[in-house]
Amino acid sequence: MSSDKTLWEYRLKPEDSGQKYLSILKHKFHFSLKVLQHLKLGERVWVDGRFTYLTARGKEGELLSIQLFSEEDSPIQGENLPLAILYEDEYLLAVNKPVGQVVHPNRRYPANTLGNAVIGYWQRKGEQRLYRPIHRIDRNTSGVVIIAKNQFAHQQLAYQLERGHIHKRYYGFVQGCLQQNNGTIDSPIGLAPHSFIKRQIQAEGEPARTDYRVICRYSEASLLEFILETGRTHQIRVHCEGIGHPLLGDDLYGGETSLINRQALHSAVYAFLHPVTGLPLVIRAPFPEDFKHLLKVLRKI
């Protein structure tokens, strides 16, 4: 068996006896068919140190081991860019994305993206990996971005994300003073007519639900905590516009730009279960400098 330390291991229990390893991995641990096919082709599954087929049947007490890591060449060009690492282990990388940086290279932004920075960081460490962000945040939203280091970790976190098991907390400054201390915005969101970017609340849109809590009120604005129950594009921005309190700096959705020159939104906390250990993991990103400056200004108004 490979000595690669990036292993997933499981000791079979009484209820696993007679079950195919394929069935255990698929139904008990939610391995995707794509990952299982990858494991099969790579011959990276062992029982008690000996190679086995996924169609073989297990026995109580056996140690099922899977090699998760394999080197993969990325099509993204690595660059030596600043990278604010919040957490890292063999399976995950969590970073604090700065304002103005795109998460993934595209035609409009082919370089200087978070993807270029991450690949460059790994290359300097002598590691070959694909860039697998679990989620994206807007170019002018700062904060937490989680990147999986292998296909299995990505699939496991995507499974949590799809089922609402990853808890995301944002902070943002909105115009005006909200009267309610907390509330829920439950309004579907769809693409605005004649636009490839802007979204709007519309009856035929996708379900979208945002919980909010007022942290502090100022004479011209309020600092809110947002918890997303869904993850639609521009969800917080659209919902804030919809209740008549757009995010400060968000000119696309009617926000005042005199105090900050980007939407005043920060991805502050991601809480989820580690894809391999299953233990709770909480990633926090501190406020960026423009948020700190905005706080000082609002306190003086």
Query: Number of folded domains in the chain?
Result: 2
pLDDT the model gives residue 70: 62
pLDDT the model gives residue 4: 43
pLDDT the model gives residue 39: 81
Please indicate, yes or no, if residue 233 is contained in any of the structural domains: yes
Task: Please tell me the distance from the alpha carbon of residue 167 to that of residue 144, in angstroms, as a whole number.
Answer: 12
Please indicate, yes or no, if residue 13 is contained in any of the structural domains: yes
Domain harbouring 32, CATH code: 3.10.290.10
Please indicate, yes or no, if residue 18 is contained in any of the structural domains: yes
CA dihedral defined by 254, 236, 284, 98, rounded to 10 degrees? -40
Given 40, 67, 94, the domain boundary residue is 67
Domain harbouring 226, CATH code: 3.30.2350.10
Task: Tell me if residue 138 is catalytic.
Answer: yes
Please indicate, yes or no, if residue 91 is contained in any of the structural domains: no
Given 52, 67, 82, the domain boundary residue is 67
Q: Which two tokens stand for residue 247?
A: 């995010």
pLDDT the model gives residue 69: 65
Please indicate, yes or no, if residue 17 is contained in any of the structural domains: yes
pLDDT the model gives residue 3: 38
- Active-site residue (options: 4, 48, 73, 138): 138
Along the 301 residues of the chain, how does pLDDT read in single tens digits?
Answer: 333 456 788 999 999 999 999 999 988 888 888 888 878 776 789 999 899 999 999 999 999 998 876 667 889 999 999 999 999 999 999 999 999 999 999 999 999 999 999 999 999 999 989 999 999 999 999 999 999 998 889 999 999 988 889 999 999 999 999 989 999 999 999 999 988 899 999 999 999 999 999 999 999 999 999 999 998 999 999 999 999 999 999 999 999 999 999 999 999 999 999 998 899 999 999 999 999 999 999 998 8
Please indicate, yes or no, if residue 210 is contained in any of the structural domains: yes
Instruction: Quote the pTM value.
Output: 0.84
Task: Please tell me the distance from the alpha carbon of residue 140 to that of residue 101, in angstroms, as a whole number.
Answer: 7
Q: Which two tokens stand for residue 237?
A: 């921005």
Please indicate, yes or no, if residue 216 is contained in any of the structural domains: yes
Q: Distance from CA of residue 207 to its chain's centroid?
A: 19
Expressed as residue numbers, the domain containing 249 is 167-267+293-300
Given 67, 82, 103, the domain boundary residue is 67
Please indicate, yes or no, if residue 53 is contained in any of the structural domains: yes
Task: Please tell me the distance from the alpha carbon of residue 144 to that of residue 114, in angstroms, as a whole number.
Answer: 12
Task: Please tell me the distance from the alpha carbon of residue 155 to that of residue 140, in angstroms, as a whole number.
Answer: 27
* Residue 159 contacts residue 127 (beta carbons within 8 Å): no
Question: What residues contact residue 294 under an 8 Å CB cut-off, 6+ apart?
Answer: 173, 248, 259, 260, 264
pLDDT the model gives residue 67: 83
